[in-house]
């Protein structure tokens, strides 16, 4: 399987796209893309980004946001995934796994998600031959599905992978399922979104059909040409999350199955998925995507903020249920 070391990637010249951290905003049972208006939604999510996050989100999210947990201060988008829990092998109780700051992010980033917007691949942009169109206001999409329940199905979701971290800069090989042994530095989850848009719909009934994935291989590879049905090339959005499983390693009996489950329980790690709600202010993302030979900050075309300021951004607890500590059942899941 493909392996990737961020240390090597950052040591080599890199020129294309954005990479930045967003501290954790909230952890609660809401999903305004898949279950708009439902409070609570079916399972718990880990959310980062702007403070316009709510059970229902329509229209221009960027115009409604007043703060963001992201380093890019013009990015009021929301990014979220399911939450990882440890299921005790003996008594069956659940404990939420905390999120750890990824490597090579701005100081004081708290947990959160590492976000990428790449126009071509990890080291080049090619915007002269492949111009990138930023997402329009109101756009949203998902990738993966909690209903995926086979290894074959998980493997078919190219770009949705795990790593058993040896350290934050040594990820080891990518895999389609959760690791089968304790990981010294935690479990790493990555979600690559498709990059081809139909040019018409801000969403679709399944929240995926308005986009098309031409990527055939895992990792930061350039997506092949978009089809006529989805002709508009968008940035390739990627999330990385570091789940700090270290405190649970001693509770994992040797030779037993992986005790970690997503907040919807599911079958092993097959149902990993993520949601995206676009919310950049004005033309900020387009300005960044128009820059040539840039990485991290869009060549200064967009404004950054100190993470101490980003960490002040909050949203209220809109559900009012316990999601951490030892729980008899997963929130929203029946016994």
- Tokens found for residue 141: 């999409």
Closest-CA residue to 292 (of 177, 157, 144, 120): 120
pLDDT confidence of residue 114: 97
Contact between residue 238 and residue 220 where contact means Cβ atoms under 8 Å apart:
yes
pLDDT confidence of residue 122: 74
pLDDT confidence of residue 121: 80
pLDDT confidence of residue 15: 55
Checking phi first, is residue 90 left (phi over 0); if not, alpha (psi -120 to 50) or beta?
A: alpha
CA 10 to chain centre: 20
Q: How many CB atoms are closer than 10 A to CB 109?
A: 22
Q: Which of helix, strand or coil describes residue 132? A: coil
pLDDT confidence of residue 16: 67
Closest-CA residue to 29 (of 37, 20, 39, 19): 39
CA 257 to chain centre: 25
Give percent of the chain above pLDDT 70: 94
Closest-CA residue to 81 (of 269, 239, 285): 239
pLDDT confidence of residue 8: 41
Query: Residue 291 — very low, low, confident or very high, per pLDDT cuts 50/70/90?
Result: confident
Whether 181 shows a pLDDT value over 80: the answer reads: yes
Tens of pLDDT, residue by residue over 75-92, are: 999 999 999 999 999 999
CA 115 to chain centre: 7
d(CA 210, CA 203) in angstroms, rounded, equals 6
Please tell me the least confidently modeled range out of 14-18, 260-264, 326-330. 14-18
Radius of gyration of the chain (CA): 19
Tens of pLDDT, residue by residue over 106-160, are: 999 999 999 999 988 877 778 888 899 999 999 999 999 999 999 999 999 999 9
Whether 303 shows a pLDDT value over 60: the answer reads: yes
Spatial strand order of the sheet with 78-82 comes to: 24-28, 45-49, 78-82, 273-277, 140-144
- pTM given for the model: 0.95
The mean per-residue pLDDT over the stretch 216-223 comes to 88
């Amino acid at each position: 399987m493909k392996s990737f070391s961020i240390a090597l990637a950052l040591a080599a010249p890199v020129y294309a796209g954005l990479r930045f951290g967003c501290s954790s905003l909230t952890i609660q049972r809401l999903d305004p893309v898949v279950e708009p208006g439902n409070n609570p939604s079916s399972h718990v999510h880990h959310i980062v980004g702007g403070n316009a996050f709510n059970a229902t989100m329509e229209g221009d999210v960027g115009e409604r946001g007043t703060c963001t947990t992201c380093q890019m201060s013009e990015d009021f988008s929301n990014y979220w995934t399911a939450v990882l829990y440890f299921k005790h092998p003996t008594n069956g109780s659940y404990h939420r796994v905390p999120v750890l700051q990824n490597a090579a992010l701005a100081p004081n980033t708290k947990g959160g998600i590492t976000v990428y917007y790449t126009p071509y691949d990890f080291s080049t942009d090619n915007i002269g031959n492949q111009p990138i169109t930023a997402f329009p206001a109101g756009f949203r999409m998902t990738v993966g599905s909690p209903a995926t329940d086979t290894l074959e199905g998980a493997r078919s979701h190219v770009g949705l992978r795990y790593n058993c971290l040896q350290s934050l800069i040594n990820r080891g090989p990518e895999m389609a399922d959760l690791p089968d042994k304790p990981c010294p530095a935690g479990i790493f989850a990555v979600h690559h979104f498709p990059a081809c848009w139909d040019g018409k719909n801000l969403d679709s009934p399944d929240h995926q059909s308005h986009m098309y994935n031409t990527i055939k291989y895992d990792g930061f590879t350039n997506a092949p040409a978009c089809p006529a049905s989805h002709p508009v090339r968008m940035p390739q959005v990627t999330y990385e999350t570091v789940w700090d499983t270290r405190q649970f390693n001693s509770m994992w009996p040797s030779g037993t199955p992986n005790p970690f489950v997503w907040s919807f329980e599911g079958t092993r790690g097959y149902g990993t998925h993520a949601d995206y709600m676009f919310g950049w202010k004005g033309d900020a993302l387009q300005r960044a995507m128009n820059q040539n030979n840039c990485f991290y900050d869009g060549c200064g075309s967009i404004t950054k903020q100190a993470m101490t300021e980003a960490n002040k951004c909050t949203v209220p607890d809109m559900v009012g249920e316990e999601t951490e500590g030892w729980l008899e059942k997963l929130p929203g899941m029946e016994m």
